[in-house]
């Protein structure tokens, strides 16, 4: 027996794909179609603003709280998502640095917050500390997961201490900053550092954390 056909089929018309199934039990998924990702929001400990809880955000919140509650820093000493703008090969590259700690009017410490291996982020933190301020290299570069930390000397790139407790307190940082000769990054090293920073940063950027800009290097 010949199977029954709908009116459109008998007339030789092709049924549009989006009309093939009206029943919700047989949904038609369009190629390449995906639902927008959703995420939770948290209130930043320093700024009081809502931020998406993605990537290393929980780690950053832990570091912010530790700096204030255990190391004596004031919220105004800590810049969140410090904007950085570089020019590489004639093209602008914009990003942000997780945390920048200042004392006595000078930026003293850059902190990169990481959700995983700290070792893989050390070079990125050092490059950020070398490039963020055009007038001098920020003395300390730090990577932390909120539970531990690695402290590096920006000018040499060498590890000088480890553990959250090794982060200098506000009082210690102020004293050391007063006796520090802030060095400018040599011009012939600037381009290489920018390439290094971009190569690491472009793999690690979190949602909503690449928004501002700084003076170009």
Each residue's pLDDT tens digit, 93-142: 999 999 999 999 999 999 999 887 888 899 999 999 999 998 999 999 99
Question: What is the C-alpha to C-alpha distance for residues 145 and 126, in angstroms, rounded to an integer?
Answer: 16
Angle between helices 187-204 and 122-131 (to 10 degrees): 130
Residue 35 counted as domain residue: no
Asked if the structure places residue 30 within a domain, the reply is no
Give pTM, 2 decimals: 0.77
Q: Is residue 194 part of a domain?
A: yes
Alpha-carbon distance of 89 to 100, in angstroms, equals: 27
Say if residue 208's pLDDT is above 60.
Answer: no
Question: Rounded mean pLDDT of the chain?
Answer: 83
Domains identified in the chain, total number:
1
Sign of torsion, CA 110 120 96 61?
A: negative
Question: What is the CATH number for 139?
Answer: 3.90.1570.30
Domain annotation covers residue 38: no
The single-letter DSSP state of residue 216 is B
Q: Is position 44 within any domain?
A: no
CA atoms of 85 and 74, how far apart (whole Å): 26
How high is the pLDDT of residue 21? Answer: 36
What are residue 92's DSSP bridge partners?
Answer: 87
Q: Regarding predicted confidence, which is higher, 15 or 71?
A: 71
Lowest-pLDDT choice from 21-25, 42-46, 57-61: 21-25
The per-residue pLDDT for 202 is 87
**Angle, alpha carbons 92-97-102 (nearest 5°):** 125
Q: Is 8 inside a domain boundary?
A: no
Residue 32 forms part of a structural domain: no
- The domain in which residue 173 lies consists of 53-204
Residue 27 resides in a domain: no
Contact between 142 and 153 (Cβ < 8 Å)? no
Band (205; pLDDT cuts 50, 70, 90): low
* Span 140-160, pLDDT tens digits: 999 999 999 999 999 999 999
> In a 10 Å sphere around its CB, with 0-12 CB exposed, 13-18 middle and 19+ buried, how is residue 64 labelled?
buried
């Amino acid at each position: 027996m010949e199977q029954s056909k709908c009116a459109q089929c008998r007339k030789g018309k092709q049924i549009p794909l989006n009309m093939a199934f009206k029943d919700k039990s047989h949904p038609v998924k369009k190629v390449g179609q995906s639902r927008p990702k959703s995420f939770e929001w948290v209130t930043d400990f320093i700024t009081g603003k809502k931020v998406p809880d993605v990537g290393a955000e929980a780690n950053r919140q832990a570091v912010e709280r530790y700096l204030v509650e255990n190391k004596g820093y004031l919220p105004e000493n800590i810049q969140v998502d410090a904007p950085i703008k570089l020019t590489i090969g004639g093209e602008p590259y914009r990003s942000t640095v997780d945390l920048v700690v200042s004392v006595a009017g000078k930026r003293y410490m850059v902190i990169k917050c990481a959700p995983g291996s700290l070792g893989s982020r050390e070079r990125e933190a050092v490059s950020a500390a070398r490039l963020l301020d055009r007038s001098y290299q920020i003395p300390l570069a730090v990577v932390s997961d909120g539970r531990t930390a690695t402290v590096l000397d920006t000018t040499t790139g060498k590890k000088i201490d480890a553990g959250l407790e090794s982060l200098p307190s506000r009082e210690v940082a102020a004293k050391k900053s007063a006796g520090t000769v802030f060095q400018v990054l040599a011009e012939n090293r600037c381009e290489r550092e920018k390439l290094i920073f971009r190569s690491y940063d472009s793999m690690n950027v979190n949602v909503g954390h690449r928004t501002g800009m700084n003076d170009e290097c």
